[in-house]
Amino acid sequence: MFQIKSLMIAMVLSVLGFTINLAHANEDVMEGIKATDSYISGGIGSEEVDYFHNHAKAYPLHILYSQGKIGFSLTEVALRIADTHGKVVLEVEQSGPRLYAKIPPGKYKITATFNGKKQSTFVELLPNKTERVFLNWKGDPQVDESELKD
C-alpha cells in the first residue's frame, strides 16, 4: 500500500512539474508582449519577434518605432489612432518597439509620442491587406552604458 501511495505521489509531482515547466515556458515567450483583443505590442527578443511573425496575419496594421540612423528599437511610445471623424479607435500609453493592431478597413490618423516628441501620419487600411508604418525619431538614443558591460 505504501508503494502505491508513493508511486501516485511521484506521478502527481511529475505531472505537476511538467505542467509548471510548460506554463513557465509559455510565460517566457509572452514576457515583454502586451496583448489585448485589439493589439499586441512588444517584440524585442527573438522569441517575441517569432511570436509577432506567427500572429501577423490577424493584424492588418503593423507599426514599428525606431530612433536614429541605426534604427534603435524604441519602447514606451504613446500611441493614438483616430478615424477620419476624430474618434479614437485605439490608444495605448506605452507600446513598442512593435505594435500590431486589429482595426477595420478605413482611413486613420496615427499619432505617436516618444520623450514628448510627437509624430503623425495617415494610413488607409484596405480589406485583406496589411499596412506597415515605420516611425523614426531623429537623434541618437540615450543608452545606459552600464547595461552594455558584461
Q: What is the pLDDT of residues 48-79, one digit of tens each?
A: 888 888 889 999 999 999 999 989 999 999 99
Does residue 18 lie within any of the structural domains?
no
User: For residue 13, is it within any domain?
Assistant: no
User: Which segment, 31-35, 38-42, 130-134, is predicted with the most confidence on average?
Assistant: 130-134
Radius of gyration for the chain, computed over Cα atoms and rounded to the nearest angstrom = 21
Structurally, the chain folds into a number of domains equal to 1
Does a structural domain hold residue 112?
A: yes
- How deeply is 30 buried, as exposed, middle or buried, from its count of CB atoms within 10 A (0-12, 13-18, 19+)? middle
pLDDT of residue 26: 28
Confidence of residue 33 (pLDDT cuts 50, 70, 90): low
Give the residue numbers spanning the domain of 104: 34-140
Mean pLDDT throughout 31-45?
A: 77
pTM more than 0.75: no
Separation CA 64–CA 29 (nearest Å): 20
pLDDT per position as a tens digit, 90-148? 999 999 999 999 999 999 999 999 999 999 999 999 999 999 999 999 987 665 444 44
Can you read off the three cell numbers belonging to residue 49?
Answer: 519577434
State the CATH number of the domain containing residue 125. Answer: 2.60.40.10
What backbone torsions phi and psi does residue 138 show, to the nearest 5 degrees? -70, 160
| Whole-number pLDDT of residue 32 | 64
pLDDT at 65: 95
Residue 15 lies in a domain: no
- Asked whether residue 47 is domain-assigned, the answer is yes
29 or 141, higher pLDDT: 141
Residue 17 lies in a domain: no
Whether 19 maps to a domain, the answer reads no
